[in-house]
Amino acid sequence: MTKSIDTLFAEPLHKDGASEAEGAALPLSGVRVLDLTRYLSGPYATLLLAEMGAEVIKVEVPEAGDDTRHIAPLQGDVSFYHSTINRSKASVELDLKSEEGRELILAMAADCDVFIQNFRTGVAERLGIGYDVISKINPRAVYCSISGFGGTGPESRRAAFDLIVQAESGVMSLNGEGDSPPSKLGLPVADLSSGMFAVHGILAALLKRSRTGKGSLVEVSMMSSLLSLSVYNATRYFVTGETPKRMGSRHPGVVPYGQYAGSDGNILLSTFSDGSWKKIVQAMDRPELADDPRFVTAASRVVHRDACDALLGEVFSGFTSDDIVQRLQVAGIPCGVVRSLGEALEVEAASGSGAIAEVEYPGQVGTIRSVRIPIKFDGEWCPAKPAPALGQDNAMLDRYRKP
């Protein structure tokens, strides 16, 4: 009989993985994840799972470990990169090309709820740990594969890195100013989005398993993830045949929208209503501009975009960015100061929101600050624990070795 939605995850899947009171209170307590991922897309997915309560066992190459362990700068002997995306996990060392390593992986796979890898397409099968093998050993396992270009087709076996996928997906073509070459996004959006979509698929597959008792194959590619993020831009292309143009921070159908310079920095406006123009000029002590026929309606402002932007630039130039934002917020205009990432992090840390985690590492490493995953449950942030030392949990392999 199918369980009700309220009781789907009432019983922990692995009670021994939920022994700590803090962990047992989290939604994924009792879910065991065998993590064979590297670099960013997969480790970001398993970070999200780990800090929502799952027991994540990260499998690493003996002695060298994950390549991200060596990316500078280091604090003590801990890489900033590795410590960010591998928090709250366990680490074991296994040589997947050895007979013993493969036997241990298969034994662990029989005891996990989620098996996740982001090898290049075909590598997992060559190692003997593809979906067909794992699903026979553990029919209840959710097997997740993250790839660059999908599991089938002529592009499937290509090596994929975020920058390449940004370029080939067309995402870069939307970024930058119209008269400049396309520019990559400042964030590794192909890696991060495919990691997030993988988590969506894994959680949906676990929900399905609670009804059917059977696991699933979840496949996510970096390319399909970025194409999915193009949303209305893609549909507009299919409807009109016109490729969207680079417009910087401007909007093709809305004015004023984007960055404007104050006397000490830039601010950003996001306005969609007809009446926004009148509110803006009144807030900036220029009421005589309110009835200019070029700018009264949203449609007329698009026609006269350059004139509207130039006039606002003149109006804003006599005010500081903070003053502009304060005035416009009082008037109900969506706006904000354009900050550097460092400025944004310092503001968030000073706010006391708790979004910045202070993670304590043993020895000489000390405290490493990083941003928590952006999810709270029942008013509480998910706990952030240190990234593991290489092989620190090798002892757990003993329970999977043959007597």
Annotated catalytic residues are 251
Torsion of CA 263, 264, 265, 271, to 10 degrees: -40
> Within its chain, how far is the Cα of 308 from the centroid?
36
Whole-angstrom distance, CA of residue 156 vs CA of residue 222 = 11
196 touches 144 (CB < 8 A)? no
Question: What stretch of H or E contains 85?
Answer: helix 80-85
Whole-angstrom distance, CA of residue 15 vs CA of residue 120 = 33
Helix %, strand %, coil % of the chain (to 5): 40, 15, 45
Torsion of CA 278, 283, 289, 292, to 10 degrees: -10
Residue appearing with tokens 């400025």: 343
| Angle, CA 312 vertex, CA 310 and CA 314 arms, to 5° | 70
Dig out the tokens for 214 from the structure: 């059977």
Residue 306 burial (CB < 10 Å; 0-12/13-18/19+)? exposed
Exposed e or buried b for every residue in 318-333, given b needs 16+ CB within 10 A? ebebebbbebbeebeb
189 touches 166 (CB < 8 A)? yes
Whole-angstrom distance, CA of residue 266 vs CA of residue 335 = 11
**SS3 category, 275:** coil
Q: What is the DSSP annotation of 162-175?
A: HHHHHHHTTTGGGS
